[in-house]
Chains A and B, each alone.
Chain A
C-alpha cells in the first residue's frame, strides 16, 4: 500500500539541492556576509514560525524566539561542522528555545488574572459554542492535549517531514524516545478523531 497521493504534499525542505544552498548560506554568514544571512533568515522564517508555534502555542512571542534562534545561528555559524543537515542544527536550536519559552508561558498563564466590567456585556448563550469550535477544529483541540515534546515530534514528522533519527538529534534524546512520544501522541489524536466521527 503506497502513499502516492501524499507525494505532492512533501515539503522541499529535505532535497539535496536545498541542503546545499543552506550550507552555502551558513558558511557565507560565518564569513560575515549579511546578505546571505538575510536570505537564510527569509528561507527559515515560515518554517520556524510553524515549528515554534506548534511547540509553545503562543504566537505573541514567536518572532522574538525566531530572532533569538537566528541570532545564535549568526553568532555560531562558524562552528557549524556540516556533519548534520542545516535544518537539524537550526531546528535543534529552535526546539530548545521554544521549550524554554513554553515553560515560561505556562507559568505566566497561571499568574494572569484580569477581569473587568466588559465581561457583563457578553451574550449569555451557554456553552454550546465551545463544542462547536471543537468540532470545527478538532486537530487544534487534540494538539492542545499533547505535551510540548509530543507536539514537537508530530510537527517534525508531519509538517517538517523529518526522519525519526533526525528528530532524535534535534531533541537530543534516543530514537526510541521519539517513537514512544509519537506512540502516545497517536493514541491521543486517534481518540479525538474517533470521538469526533462518532459525534458527527
Chain B
C-alpha cells in the first residue's frame, strides 16, 4: 500500500517536472517550481536526457538568424508548392522519367532534341540581322565615313590580303622588312588613315599560312593592326 503510494507520488512528480522542463530552461519558473525540477532531475535519467534535448532546441532557437529563418520558410513554401503539384514536382519528374525511359527512351531524347533545336533556331534568328549586315552592302556605309569594322565593298580575291596599320609611322625600309618577313608584298596603301593592304604569298597560299602571317604580324611591336581584308570595308 505504502509502496504504491510512493510510486504514484514519484510518478506525478516526474510528470510535473517533465512538463516544467521548458520553463526551467528559460528560467521563468518561480522558486518553488524551480526547486521541484532541480531536485527531480538529480535522480531521473529520463528527465536529464529530455533536459539535454530541450536545451539544444532552446539554443538553436535563440541562435537562429531571423533572416535565415525567413529565407528557409520562403523556401519551405516554394517546396510545398512544388510537391503539391505533381506535374512539376522534381521527385515525380524523376519517377516518370525513369519509368518512361524503359519504354520510350527515344521519344524523350527526341523531345529534348526538339527543345534544344528550337532554342538554337531562335538564337540564329536573333543573330540573323547582324550576320546579314556583313553580307549586304549598306547604302549608308558608302558615304565618306567608314571604319575598319564596316562591311567590305570588295570581296573578290581577297583571301590572302591583309590590312595592316603600323605604329609610329616606321620608314618604308622597316615596313618592307616586316612585310617580307611574312612573305607578303604591299599591293595598296598607305591610305590617308595609314592602312596598307598586303598580299601574303600568291593566290595559291592557303588560309593556314595567311593566319600564321597575321599572328606573326600582330606579334611585331611596330604593328598595331593586322586583319584579313575580307569582311572589312575599305578605309579611305
Contact = CB atoms under 8 A, between A and B. Distances in A.
A interface majority secondary structure? helix
Interface stretch (A16-24, A32-40, A72-80, A183-191): A183-191
A183 B93 contact: no
B59 A133 contact: no
A59 B77 CA distance: 11
Given A126-B94, A193-B53, A113 B85 contact: yes
A50 interface: yes
B76 A141 contact: yes
Nearest to A193: B53
Interface string B14-34: 000001001111111100000
A137 B22 contact: no
Interface string A26-45: 00000000000000000000
A6 interface: yes
Contacts of A179: 19
Contact of A124 (B51, B69, B72, B97): B97
Interface footprint category on A: 35 or more
28 contacts: A1-B42, A1-B48, A3-B55, A6-B59, A9-B58, A14-B28, A46-B66, A53-B66, A58-B73, A59-B74, A113-B85, A124-B90, A124-B97, A126-B90, A130-B90, A130-B91, A133-B79, A157-B22, A157-B26, A158-B25, A158-B57, A158-B58, A158-B61, A158-B62, A161-B27, A163-B29, A164-B28, A186-B50
Nearest to A179: B19
Contacts of B53: 190, 193
Interface string A154-193: 1101110111101000000000000100110010011001
Contacts of A157: 22-23, 26
Contacts of B19: 179, 182-183
B60 A139 contact: yes
A117 to B, nearest CB: 11
A195 interface: no
B64 A139 contact: yes
Contact of B73 (A9, A49, A57): A57
B54 A186 contact: yes
A7 B27 contact: yes
B203 interface: no
Nearest to B51: A1
A64 interface: no
Interface string A101-114: 00000000100110
